[in-house]
Amino acid sequence: MPAIDAMAINLLTVERPGIPDIQKKACLEIIDKLKSPVSDCLSDEIEFSMSSVLAGISVSVRPIMRELALELISIAKTNELQNLIEEIDEVYIRFFRINDYVQFDMQSILENHPRPLVKTKNLSESVLNSELLNKKSSKVAELEKTMSGERQTEYRSEDNEFVEALNRQAELNCGESYLKGVVVRRIESRLCKGVHRDCQLHFTEGVIRSKNNNQMQLKRAQKRLEQNRSAYEKKQQIYEATINRLKKSLIQTLRAEQSTYAASSDSGTINAQKLWRLGRVPATRLFKKMESNDNGKYVVDLMIDSSHSQFFKQATVAIQAYIIVRAIVGAGIPCRVNGFYSFFDYTILKRYRDYDDDLKQTENIFEYNCEGCNRDGLALKSVCDTLYTRAEENKILIVLSDGKPNDIHLPTRNSGKESFLFWRDRYR
């Protein structure tokens, strides 16, 4: 499966030339974190070897694994999925000296499975997962059709059950929505257009603060909450001092803006101190008027990238967000906090506190947990959609992110039900 991953990267590079640099950096991080293959499993060794080759560094692996990695990276340069599968078949036979094998018959697969599995525009994680390839080899032809440009965007009546099941999975794994379905559909009709056309939105407060029967997810969320809070408490005095300094600075800035002062003017109240100028020097601006630097009230929206790329610094990000929000709310500025990530074709917006919540609700930020990918463009549109409706004159959006958007997930509403069932079992 790493070969298909490499092929997908090559195809995306045509539209996004910066992807190889991102890939190299990601491979360097993988090698740095793992140091060695996860296990002695063949797929883990191959994936580790390919990561080292793409990162351009030498690691301690079996020579045959490095040769195999170089071979797979080489054949991944093809643009046709059928050619890639056939090349992988030949490499497998050559490297492992298999004489008795079943001949790969693409035409037979095409005839038996005419329906596409995923859409070209959204390269599915299900395509990039080796376990799915082993379990779903009969879907290769469907993927080949999609990669060659064929699309199928019409909804079928039999897909309704699949969409409803996906909705239930979103609530089971991410928490119940705090908005009614009709409200969410109305928001989606405005925002899920263009590149976000096949995406959906899910507004939740997480599994801890909403109705949820997924005990495994609940335990994970509570464990992460305790870990983040524990990390804060270890240096609580330092963090509290930082909060107070930042809050004091904000309050001073706000007071300076709201202060008034007397300024010379052509109208207003007579300035007695300037009346002596009459008849002696050109007398202008003999009046004074009270003026202010007040530009109006402020409101802040804080967004936290909750995708898996932030996994190794979850506690740090949670503490940063907590410090910022504590200072902002302490200065009397309304502040809302949302985390965002992707689950299938859903963009999950997890609300930690709303604008008018009390200061205690800020501690919900310690529930911060990283998983999945992210579709930051849709998340930004969703948050700004309500931010624009606020009455305050000054609207500020703060985004805490590592700047690594990634939305290569994608069994979508138009994907096969078998793909959904596989990922449902995986997330349990």
pLDDT tens-digit profile, the chain (428 residues): 565 666 667 677 777 777 778 877 887 887 777 777 766 666 777 777 777 777 777 777 777 777 777 777 777 777 677 777 777 777 766 666 544 444 545 555 555 544 444 444 444 444 344 444 444 444 444 544 454 444 444 444 455 677 777 888 888 889 999 999 889 999 999 999 888 888 899 999 999 998 888 888 899 999 999 999 999 999 999 999 999 999 999 999 888 887 777 788 888 888 878 877 777 777 677 788 887 777 889 999 999 999 988 888 999 999 999 999 999 999 999 999 999 999 888 999 999 999 999 999 999 999 999 988 888 889 999 999 999 999 999 999 999 998 876 655 444 444 444 444 444 454 44
Sorted by sequence, the CB contacts under 8 Å of residue 312 that are 6+ apart come out as 33
pTM of the model: 0.57
| H-run or E-run covering 144 | helix 140-147
**118 within some domain:** no
Angle, in degrees to the nearest 10, between helices 215-234 and 314-330: 70
Do residues 206 and 175 lie in contact, with contact meaning Cβ atoms separated by under 8 Å? yes
Do residues 363 and 181 lie in contact, with contact meaning Cβ atoms separated by under 8 Å? no
Helix/strand/coil for 23: helix
User: Does one domain contain both 281 and 165?
Assistant: no
Per-residue pLDDT at 102: 47
Domain CATH code at residue 345: 3.40.50
Per-residue pLDDT at 408: 54
User: Does one domain contain both 24 and 88?
Assistant: yes
Range of the domain at 287: 258-292
Per-residue pLDDT at 304: 96
**246 within some domain:** no
Bridge partners for 390 per DSSP: none
Distance CA 65, CA 45 (A): 7
Sorted by sequence, the CB contacts under 8 Å of residue 194 that are 6+ apart come out as none
Distance CA 305, CA 383 (A): 13
Per-residue pLDDT at 309: 86
| Torsional sign, CA 151, 153, 155, 160 | positive
Say how many C-beta atoms besides its own lie within 10 A of residue 191's C-beta.
Answer: 18
Per-residue pLDDT at 133: 41
Structure tokens at 281: 């020097």
User: Does one domain contain both 279 and 307?
Assistant: no
User: Does one domain contain both 33 and 82?
Assistant: yes
Do residues 392 and 296 lie in contact, with contact meaning Cβ atoms separated by under 8 Å? yes
Phi, psi at 174, each rounded to 5° = -120, -15
User: Does one domain contain both 197 and 327?
Assistant: yes
User: Does one domain contain both 56 and 76?
Assistant: yes
User: Does one domain contain both 91 and 230?
Assistant: no
Sorted by sequence, the CB contacts under 8 Å of residue 272 that are 6+ apart come out as none
Strand pairing category for 346-353 and 269-270 = unpaired
Helices and strands (DSSP H and E) totals, the chain: 15, 8
User: What does 300-347 look like in DSSP terms, one character per residue?
Assistant: EEEEEE-SGGGGGGHHHHHHHHHHHHHHHHHTT--EEEEEEEEETTEE
User: Does one domain contain both 215 and 342?
Assistant: yes
Sorted by sequence, the CB contacts under 8 Å of residue 223 that are 6+ apart come out as none
Q: Domain count of the chain?
A: 3
Per-residue pLDDT at 354: 96
**42 within some domain:** yes
Bridge partners for 361 per DSSP: none
Distance CA 76, CA 84 (A): 6
Domain boundary among 66, 83, 104: 104
**355 within some domain:** yes
User: Does one domain contain both 266 and 177?
Assistant: no
Structure tokens at 205: 């407060």
Per-residue pLDDT at 190: 92
Half-sphere exposure of 244 (CA within 13 A, CB side): 6
Domain boundary among 65, 89, 104: 104
Per-residue pLDDT at 45: 76
Distance CA 377, CA 394 (A): 22
User: Does one domain contain both 311 and 396?
Assistant: yes
**225 within some domain:** yes
**24 within some domain:** yes
User: Does one domain contain both 314 and 344?
Assistant: yes
Per-residue pLDDT at 94: 67
Distance CA 196, CA 217 (A): 28
Per-residue pLDDT at 148: 47
**325 within some domain:** yes
